[in-house]
C-alpha cells in the first residue's frame, strides 16, 4: 500500500487532468450515445493513437500527429454521404494496425504504442491540464446550444430541411468537440480508457433515470466517481491506471442489470408509479 502517494505533489496535475477529462468525456459521450454514434469515439481515439505514433516516428510532438490524423479522419467522414458504425470499425482496425506496425520500426516503439493505447496519465503535465480544462469548458459552453439541435436531428431528421435551417454549424461544432475529446483523451489517458469514459457512463446512466437532462447529469456523475475511485485504487495497489479505470467503469454496468431487474419486478407487481421513474429516456438511447 502506498497511501502517501495520494498526497504527493507529483500526482496533483495528473489527478486534475483526469478529473477534468472524466467530466468532459462523459458529457461528450452522452451526446454521442444519444445520436447512436458512440463507436466514433473509439475509432477516432485509435486514429489519434496512430497519429501519435507517426509523430513519434518523425520526431514531432505526439499531440501534433494525433490532431492531424484525427482531423483527416473527420474530414473523410464528413465527405461520405452516410456514415455508420461500419466506417468507425474500419477506423478502429486501421488505427490499431498502424500503431503496432509503426512501433515495430522504432526504438521503444512498443512502449510508446502501449502508452497511447492504454494511457500515460501519470506523465501528464501543465499543457495536458490546460487542454483538459479547455475541453471541459468548451463542452459545457456548447452543450446548451448543441443539445436541442442534436436531439431534433436525431428524432426528427427532416425538421431542419423542411424549415430550411442550416445544419452545418452544429454538425461542425459537434465534430470538432468529438475530435478534441478523442485526441486529448488518447494523449492523456489512452485510447481505450478514453473510449470507456465516453461509452460506459451514458450507457449506464441512460437507464437509471428518465429525462434527457437527468440522464446527462447521472452520466457525468458516474464518470467522475469511477475516475476518482480508479485513481485512488491504482496508486494504493500499485496498478496501471488505465486497466483499473476500464474495469471499474465496466463494473458500473451492474447498475443496468439491477435497474432492469427492479423494473421487471415493478411490472409484475403492477405498480405503475415506479415505472415512470425507472424508464430510460428512449429505447434507442439505452
The pLDDT assigned to 231 comes to: 94
Instruction: Count Cβ neighbours within 10 Å for each residue of 104-140 and write b for 16 or more, e otherwise.
Output: eeeeebeebbbbbbbbbbbebeeebbebbeebbebbe
**Residue 276 or 122, more confident:** 122
Least confident of 162-171, 237-246, 270-279: 270-279
CA atoms of 212 and 214, how far apart (whole Å): 6
The x, y and z cell numbers of residue 85, run together, are: 458504425
pTM greater than 0.75: yes
CA atoms of 142 and 179, how far apart (whole Å): 14
Domains and CATH numbers, the chain: 3-200 (1.10.3470.10)
The answer on pLDDT for 269 being more than 70 is no
Residue 58, C-beta contacts closer than 8 angstroms, at least 6 positions apart = 65
The pLDDT assigned to 22 comes to: 96
For residue range 96-119, list pLDDT tens digits in order.
Answer: 888 888 888 877 767 777 777 777
Cα dihedral value 27, 23, 117, 17, nearest 10 = 150
The answer on pLDDT for 285 being more than 50 is no
Quick one: the chain helix, strand, coil %, rounded to 5? Answer: 80, 0, 20
For residue range 36-80, list pLDDT tens digits in order.
Answer: 888 888 888 889 888 888 888 888 888 888 888 888 888 887 777
For residue range 144-177, list pLDDT tens digits in order.
Answer: 999 999 988 888 878 777 777 788 788 889 988 9
For residue range 186-228, list pLDDT tens digits in order.
Answer: 888 988 899 999 999 999 999 888 889 999 999 999 999 999 9
Q: Are 187 and 47 in contact (CB under 8 A)?
A: no
Residue 120, C-beta contacts closer than 8 angstroms, at least 6 positions apart = 188, 189, 190
Residue 91, C-beta contacts closer than 8 angstroms, at least 6 positions apart = 43, 44, 46, 47, 73
Q: Are 211 and 282 in contact (CB under 8 A)?
A: no
Amino acid at each position: 500500500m502506498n497511501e502517501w502517494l495520494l498526497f504527493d505533489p507529483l500526482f496533483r496535475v495528473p489527478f486534475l487532468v483526469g478529473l477534468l477529462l472524466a467530466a468532459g468525456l462523459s458529457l461528450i459521450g452522452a451526446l454521442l450515445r444519444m445520436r447512436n454514434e458512440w463507436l466514433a469515439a473509439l475509432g477516432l481515439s485509435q486514429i489519434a493513437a496512430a497519429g501519435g505514433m507517426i509523430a513519434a516516428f518523425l520526431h514531432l510532438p505526439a499531440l501534433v500527429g494525433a490532431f492531424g490524423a484525427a482531423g483527416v479522419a473527420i474530414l473523410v467522414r464528413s465527405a461520405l454521404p452516410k456514415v455508420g458504425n461500419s466506417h468507425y470499425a474500419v477506423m478502429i482496425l486501421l488505427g490499431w494496425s498502424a500503431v503496432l506496425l509503426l512501433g515495430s520500426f522504432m526504438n521503444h516503439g512498443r512502449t510508446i504504442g502501449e502508452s497511447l493505447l492504454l494511457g500515460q496519465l501519470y506523465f501528464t503535465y501543465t499543457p495536458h491540464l490546460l487542454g483538459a480544462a479547455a475541453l471541459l469548458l468548451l463542452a459545457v459552453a456548447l452543450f446548451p446550444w448543441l443539445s436541442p439541435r442534436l436531439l431534433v436531428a436525431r428524432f426528427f431528421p427532416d425538421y431542419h430541411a423542411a424549415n430550411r435551417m442550416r445544419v452545418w454549424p452544429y454538425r461542425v461544432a459537434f465534430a470538432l468537440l468529438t475530435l478534441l475529446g478523442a485526441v486529448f483523451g488518447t494523449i492523456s489517458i489512452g485510447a481505450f480508457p478514453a473510449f470507456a469514459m465516453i461509452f460506459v457512463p451514458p450507457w449506464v446512466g441512460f437507464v437509471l433515470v428518465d429525462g434527457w437532462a437527468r440522464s446527462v447529469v447521472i452520466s457525468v456523475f458516474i464518470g467522475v466517481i469511477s475516475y476518482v475511485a480508479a485513481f485512488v485504487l491504482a496508486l494504493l495497489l500499485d496498478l496501471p491506471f488505465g486497466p483499473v479505470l476500464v474495469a471499474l467503469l465496466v463494473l458500473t454496468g451492474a447498475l443496468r442489470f439491477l435497474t432492469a431487474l427492479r423494473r421487471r419486478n415493478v411490472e409484475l407487481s403492477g405498480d405503475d408509479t415506479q415505472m415512470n421513474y425507472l424508464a430510460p429516456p428512449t429505447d434507442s438511447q439505452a
